[in-house]
Structure 1
Amino acid sequence: MSGASGRVLVVDDNRVIRQLIRVNLELEGFEVVTAADGAECLDVVHQVRPDVVTLDVVMPRLDGLQTAALLRDDPRTSRIPLAIISACTQYEVDSGVAAGVDAFLAKPFEPAELVRVVRQLMYREAGEGPPSVDGRHGAGRAGSATG
């Protein structure tokens, strides 16, 4: 079902950013599937069955915050860890937390930080590794929006 390290659905309307994220995660052994926007994400998420979803915020058709809220509202996808990879303005962070986003990573990001955030979310979902501080948004510290 999942790849050796897990499966990640990368959602970003910028082809170059999608490819950058894909390459960095594949180098670490993750299986990566991509979608160009939130609408495509919702079309493929049930077939792909990802362990983690990364979302850009500003995308055509359906943005990342709307996509996160819809994923959380669907019982089939409500438990998938979600990471926002974006500019991470305070609005995006506040709206993302309200939508149930688990982690934030500001663009531009260091590839090692991307891998660390995805791994942390994956281990949390699998019930492995240390628990988060508050039980819900501990992974959010991984890519803090303020630093």
Structure 2
Amino acid sequence: MSEVLGRVLVVDDDEIIRQLIAVNLTLEGFQVETASDGQDCLDRVLDVMPDVITLDVMMPRLDGWMTATRLRGDEETSHIKVVLITARAQEDDKRRGLGIGVDAYLTKPFDPSELIQVVRDLALAAHSG
């Protein structure tokens, strides 16, 4: 069995997209957990302690913006790498994400190989720093 590349928490309210991301990352060697929305993410993040969180923006209960803001505002989770994955491709949205302190921003539909590369790079950065 090869070494696990890192732990990823995949957060998306769309089960099909959540499973698509999870399967791609699992096949690549990541240990993957999933959450169905931002509140579910915050409820589970300390148990999972992922290296990287992929986070949809438009979700019920707690959207990706607020989830990322809360992750960054908590010293126990502020170090976790965050990738926003969203259909919102406007420059204002990207600036908002960078202003919150997310580490990467991918727009839907995304290229699975690009997602894998971004997550791999962030997981490596998480382990080296």
Provide TM-score, normalisation by structure 2.
0.94
Q: Deviations over 1:70-96 (max 9, x none)?
A: 000000000000000112322321111
Distance 1:53 1:92 in 2: 18
Q: Aligned Cα RMSD in Å? A: 1.2
Distance 1:102 1:74 in 2: 16
The corresponding residue for 1:105 is 106
Q: What percent identity do the matched residue pairs reach? A: 55
Distance 1:8 1:14 in 2: 17
Deviating more after overlay: 90-99 vs 44-53: 90-99
After superposing on structure 2, the runs of 4+ consecutive aligned residues of structure 1 that deviate more than 3 Å are none
* Structure showing greater relative contact order (alpha-carbon pairs closer than 8 Å, 6 or more residues apart): 2
Distance 1:91 1:37 in 2: 23
Secondary structure at the residue paired with 1:60? coil
In the TM superposition, what are the counterparts of 1:30-41 in structure 2 within 5 Å? 30-41=30-41
Distance 1:62 1:90 in 2: 22
Runs (5+) with no aligned partner, structure 1: 129-147
In the TM superposition, what are the counterparts of 1:1-147 in structure 2 within 5 Å? 4-87=4-87, 88-127=89-128
Runs (5+) with no aligned partner, structure 2: none
Q: How far apart are residue 17 of structure 1 and its match?
A: 0.3
